[in-house]
Amino acid sequence: MRRLLKYAALIVMVLMMSGSAWAYNYTDHVTTAPNNKGDVLIYPYFLALDGGWETKLTVVNTDETNSVVAKVVIRSFKNSEELLDFFIYLTPADVWIGKMMVDPVTKRVVIDSTDDSVLGSTSGITSTTIKWADTVGNALHQVMFPLNCSDDGDYLGYIEIITAAIGDMSKSGQTAPVSIHSKPQLWAEYELFKASKGILKKPYDFTTKNANVLAGWMQVQNSIIGLSASLKATTLKDYDNDTVLGTAAETRLGQYARNNLIEVEAALSKDDIAMPYVNDKDLSLHIFTFPTKLTTTDKGCGLDKKKADGPYFQQYLASPNYYCVPYKVKIYDLKENTPTGGSPFSGGDTTIRVFCDEVNLLGTGAFYPEGWAHYYFENAEVFGLTVAQKSLGYLGTPVLPTYLYVGATGLSANYGAWTDDLVNCQYSVGTSTSGYLPDYQYTDFIDCQLMPT
């Protein structure tokens, strides 16, 4: 009860001190969505390997009134290279399904979809020649773009889906049933919306101020041997894209929104991580994804040629890390035993190791048949400015920890467990004014400490 009263007092203080800034910072700053509905979906990995391994993607518009146009960005595992980008067009209550797979003839990685929420071809289309994906010759079956670096790959990576615009049908003047909200009409109006740079909004009354209505899931599957495992997308709410998105320019997280990259990192930051493992009849794979790292390369593809967008990764820019993230891991068996030496994981023991890629696969060794692993990151506190020009600091690592089990009992996938670390209060830049504002992480409503102005 005392804790509740303390929080209530803090809330009252915030409302009294923050004034008009409260609306933006409280209702609109990005955070992870505990209800799995939001305006950004991050699929922490995909696998597309010869032998039948593929990843099925599902995106649902849970709004039964309004349409959603969303941009899909597929990125490589090592350098976040943009392998492909395209739009999906979701009418009210619509769903899009696609697969990352290896073409059985060409052996190239492709995105495949027969769902009519995506264009089957973008070659010379007009409002009268538009072809939506279907099962009779217009399937989307697009190979990935060539890679810049030979040590990267398109068989493994991660995917972002960002809400581009909401079509508010209640303002369109249409009163007929939902079935008349056709996809060709939605496509044509969004094309006009893009061409006018967001000025022309009728008849769908498009806006880039987003609603949190997207939900997403992925399935890693192998139809040849009959294995399948589902995993929800990591969902961000109130990211608020505020730019008319197209495919001519690359879209990177934190670039065209009311929340920038340091705010996304604050929402995703984690301290220690716990994940189970097995080394008996089943095998386990631990996967660590850093979607805000956004590596780029400068006149070469070696570690020393790389750059990284994410504010968190700037602390590791110098040799010997070159943006690689240090970590330690301690393992336990089922009876709380832990080894005193050796290397129980490939790439991890009591020594400081590093994750260098955007998607990192960590195989578990055979030290114990079953147990759990406790990962620790050596985090420096990261400071930066929000889009609203408020200073922000946080501890923790912006990482998505997941794992796969595969073996005699089938295939399963899930997220690890973690501790959210501290996200500091925001302060007006250049003034001594300070005040409490809610956290960027949903597990802690208010968890603030003083930070310099």
> What pLDDT band is residue 9 in, cutting at 50, 70 and 90?
very low
Average pLDDT, the chain: 81
pLDDT, tens only, 90-138? 999 999 999 999 999 999 999 999 999 999 865 555 556 678 888 777 8
CA–CA–CA angle 369, 373, 375 (5° rounding): 160
pLDDT, tens only, 420-432? 877 765 444 444 4
Query: What pLDDT sits at residue 234?
Result: 98
Give the global pTM: 0.87
d(CA 260, CA 241): 10
Beta strands in 176-294 (DSSP E): 206-207, 214-222, 227-232, 234-237, 269-270, 273-278, 282-289
Query: What pLDDT sits at residue 323?
Result: 93
Which residue, among 54, 59, 85, 91, has the nearest Cα to 72 in the 3D structure? 85
Whether 170 shows a pLDDT value over 80: the answer reads: no
Q: Looking at the chain, how many residues does it have? A: 453
* Dihedral class, residue 172 (left if φ above 0, else alpha if ψ from -120 to 50, else beta): alpha
For 124, how many CA atoms within 13 A lie in the half-sphere containing its CB? 0
Q: What CA dihedral angle connects 78, 84, 90 and 94, to 10 degrees?
A: -60
d(CA 212, CA 218): 19
Q: What is the DSSP letter of 330?
A: E
Query: What pLDDT sits at residue 106?
Result: 94
pLDDT, tens only, 32-58? 998 999 999 999 999 999 999 999 999
Query: What pLDDT sits at residue 208?
Result: 61
Average pLDDT of the segment spanning 249-269: 92
pLDDT, tens only, 301-356? 888 888 999 999 999 998 888 999 999 988 898 988 887 655 545 434 557 889 99
Query: What pLDDT sits at residue 94?
Result: 95
- How many Cβ atoms from other residues are within 10 Å of residue 341's Cβ? 7
Whether 232 shows a pLDDT value over 80: the answer reads: yes
pLDDT, tens only, 391-404? 788 888 999 999 99
Query: What pLDDT sits at residue 430?
Result: 44
> What pLDDT band is residue 23 in, cutting at 50, 70 and 90?
very low
Q: Could you tell me the maximum CA-CA distance found in the chain, to the nearest angstrom? A: 71
Average pLDDT of the segment spanning 370-380: 88
Which residue, among 100, 229, 99, has the nearest Cα to 154 in the 3D structure? 100
Query: What pLDDT sits at residue 55?
Result: 98
In whole angstroms, how far apart are CA 120 and each of 99, 117, 129, 191? 14, 9, 11, 16
> What pLDDT band is residue 435 in, cutting at 50, 70 and 90?
very low
Query: What pLDDT sits at residue 409?
Result: 74
Who has greater pLDDT, 234 or 4?
234
Whether 444 shows a pLDDT value over 80: the answer reads: no
Query: What pLDDT sits at residue 179?
Result: 43
Where is average pLDDT lowest: 17-31, 81-95, 120-134, 222-236?
A: 17-31
- How many Cβ atoms from other residues are within 10 Å of residue 277's Cβ? 27
> What pLDDT band is residue 366 in, cutting at 50, 70 and 90?
low
